[in-house]
Amino acid sequence: MLSRMHQKLGTAGFVISIIALIVALTGAAYAAGGLTAKQEKQVKKIAKKYAGKNGKAGPQGAKGDTGAKGDTGAKGDTGAKGDTGAPGAPGAPGAPGPEGSPWTAGGVLPSAETETGAWAVGPKAKTTLVSLSFNIPLEEAPENLYFVNEEGKEVFFNNSTFKNETRAVENCLGSAEEPSAPAGAVCVYAAQEFDIEVAPYEGFSEGFNAGGVHRYRSGAVFTYSMTENSQAYGTWAVTAE
């Protein structure tokens, strides 16, 4: 009978039953004053010895459902700025660049290339010198300077009549709006001429007053004659040989 109870209740349950039986058998003593200290000590010792032994674990329960996702926590404070890193090592030198353009400072105007500018005279002088400054110097000074008036005619000095006259353009095929020049020459174009008395002179190779024209690698100068308080202005172009 005790064996059958042991199997049914397990060791822990069986021990508790025995303890209950002991208590029942000693009911008179319990009623009078409870278990003696010795009896209580023995009961605790027996319970402690057999507690949790030979019990059979029950089957594992089914896995519970996944819980709902919790709310996102509050954003933390920004951390302190880190120390500046040490400078990196210098990079390797780059490959040499291509050869510089001849248009750079110190160079000369390349062959067949053109540069342009503006000029003006007046209104107080009657005969004055007009200077043209080339931003990029030429390899050699231009050979000729030609002047085209506001009517689009080329001015020249007629050695037979000793007068400045005009003719159809022979050298300067541009205009005051779009100045151009043949290689080795300067072309001066008049955009406006007011009350002109004597037209300017042509290049150094022609004209009685050729001495009034001066040509340099970096510019040119020519004489311009007009009535007092007149004025004139326009553009110019020079092309390297």
Q: What range defines the domain where residue 189 resides?
A: 114-239
- DSSP-derived secondary structure letter, 61: P
Residue 161 included in any domain: yes
Is residue 72 included in any domain, yes or no? no
DSSP letters, 22-41, are: HHHHTHHHHHHH-S-HHHHH
pLDDT at 204: 43
- Tell me if 200 is assigned to some domain: yes
Q: State how far the Cα of 27 lies from the Cα of 177, in Å rounded to an integer.
A: 135
Same domain, 140 and 224: yes
Check residue 159 and give its pLDDT. Answer: 74
- The pTM assigned to this predicted structure is 0.56
pLDDT of 184 reads 94
Dihedral, CA of residue 6, residue 12, residue 13 and residue 15, to nearest 10: 80
Angle between helices 37-50 and 2-25 (to 10 degrees): 160
Residue 89: inside a domain = no
Same domain, yes or no, for 36 and 152?
Answer: no
DSSP 84-136: PPPPPPPPPPPPPPPPPPTTSTT--PPTT-EEEEEEEE-SS-SEEEEEEE-SS
Same domain? 234 vs 120:
yes
**What are the Cα distances from residue 43, in Å, to 11, 21, 35, 49, 52?**
15, 11, 10, 10, 16
One domain, residues 147 and 229: yes
User: How far are the Cα atoms of 100, 120, 234 from residue 229, in angstroms, in the given order?
Assistant: 47, 13, 17
Whether 213 and 126 share a structural domain? yes
User: Are 232 and 130 in a shared domain?
Assistant: yes
pLDDT less than 50: residues of the chain: 2, 5-6, 9, 27-32, 202-205
Cα 15 to Cα 153: distance, rounded to the nearest angstrom: 138
pLDDT of residue 39: 67
33 within a domain of the structure (yes/no) = yes
Give the three-class secondary structure for 55.
coil
Q: In what order do the strands lie in the sheet with 213-216?
A: 127-133, 219-225, 213-216
Position 232 in a domain: yes
Q: How many domains does the chain have?
A: 2
* Whole-angstrom Cα Rg for the chain: 59
- Residue-level pLDDT at 32: 45
Q: Could you tell me if residue 104 is inside a domain?
A: no
121 and 216 share one domain:
yes
Q: Report if residue 177 sits inside a domain.
A: yes
What is the per-residue pLDDT for 101?
Answer: 65
